[in-house]
Amino acid sequence: MASLVLIVSLLFATFSSPFVEAANSTGYTLRAGSLNLIDSCWRRNPNWATNRHALANCAIGFGKPTLGGKQGPIYVVTSPLDDPKAPKPGTLRYGASQPKPLWITFARDMVIVLKTQLHVMSHQTIDGRGARVEIANGACLSVYHASHVIIHGIIFHDCKPGSLGPKRWEGDAIRVFHSTHVWIDHCSFSRCQDGLIDVLHASTAVTISNNSLTQHVKAMLLGHDDNFVDDKKMRVTVLFNTFGPGLSARMPRVSRGYAHVANNRYEKWLTYAIGGSADPIIFCEGNYFVAPNDPSKKQVTKRMGGKLGTAKWKWSTSKDVFMNGAYFTPSGGPAVAPLYGTGESFQVSPGSLVPSLTSSAGAPRCTIGRVC
């Protein structure tokens, strides 16, 4: 009898505890086994909104040390309006332009149409959890000569190019330019004029994770220009993202630097999945590649340029899963493992687990007081 009581008690604890299984605001159930290493750091806690700064402890990979606005107060965006010449308190531009650490949140759902590209200052977090926040139909964001920036839970779409006097922007959703320690997590990207995410001009210590990228031509560019030698210092972790449907290429395209591309899901690219030029190092580990039906597009990789001799470029695959005839062409000998610093390294899962690990990629719909 005592044994029966113990078994019943254990079963009740298993199915009633929010830290084992709980429904989020979109109605799907988060199970312990379905959360990846980043999400398991915060998503099981229904009180995430009472300690938003704790998110800054959850990054892994090269962007792990990123602080964002962890050392600053909460700033609440109450208005979607934008005035580039005289930003008003309560707007996103006013908060993101402050030269001090801030953790930026949003009072309600809103669509923000930026009139000019918004440069996010150092030590800022833009945290969309608890609201549906779209930055769309105008200029979008840049991280320009900055450090320690976190962008989380925002929907980017239809970003447009433009100019104001000598200032020009090309229509990227997020452009990281000559910056360090940047973490872009759980955002949704689609249909922008230029790139969805660009990491350029000797930027490094970047993690791009848990994002959904769809319906676009040039998804992700890592590296400024083939002739820009300083991009050799670039170190980027691309992790737990979903690429597609409707993407053409650059998932990512890498120039000169190092990219650890791990546990991402690829859905039927239109041209190629992962490309590079100017001697990059690309380590693909534990990804899930589903090739398009076109027999001429089955190859995951595409090498461009060739001035340095593409046979010596170090491109390698490990634990990847290849579906529908997909195949990866390695080069340069054995894999070059990422030289992660203290606390940055993580265990990469087999590619077969990627559909589960990426099942909630993109901007989550979080409700305060409930698991997200």
Residue 171 domain-assigned? yes
Residue 19 domain-assigned? no
Dihedral angle, C-alpha 28, 29, 30, 34, nearest 10 °: -90
Q: Is 33 helix (H, G, I), strand (E, B) or coil?
A: helix
Give the distance from CA 13 to its chain's centroid: 35
When divided into structural domains, the chain yields a total of 1
Residue 205 domain-assigned? yes
pLDDT confidence of residue 16: 30
Annotation says 43 is catalytic: no
pLDDT confidence of residue 152: 98
Give the whole-angstrom CA distance, residue 364 versus residue 129.
7
Domain range for 336 is 38-357
pLDDT confidence of residue 306: 58
Give the whole-angstrom CA distance, residue 151 versus residue 133.
12
Find the CATH number of the domain harbouring 261: 2.160.20.10
Question: Annotated catalytic residue: which of 43, 250, 256, 265?
Answer: 250
| Pair of tokens at residue 117 | 């590209």
Residue 3 domain-assigned? no
Residue 22 domain-assigned? no
Q: How far is CA 167 from CA 146, 158, 170, in A?
A: 18, 20, 10
Residue 9 domain-assigned? no
Residue 238 domain-assigned? yes
> What is the chain's pLDDT, residue by residue, as a tens digit (372 residues)?
334 333 333 333 333 333 333 333 333 334 445 799 999 999 999 999 999 999 999 999 999 999 999 999 999 999 999 999 999 999 999 999 999 999 999 999 999 999 999 999 999 999 999 999 999 999 999 999 999 999 999 999 999 999 887 888 999 999 999 999 999 999 999 999 999 999 999 999 999 999 999 999 999 999 988 888 999 999 999 999 999 999 999 999 999 899 999 999 999 999 999 999 988 999 999 999 999 999 999 999 999 875 556 778 899 999 999 999 999 999 998 999 999 999 999 999 999 999 999 999 999 999 999 999
Residue 17 domain-assigned? no
pLDDT confidence of residue 26: 33
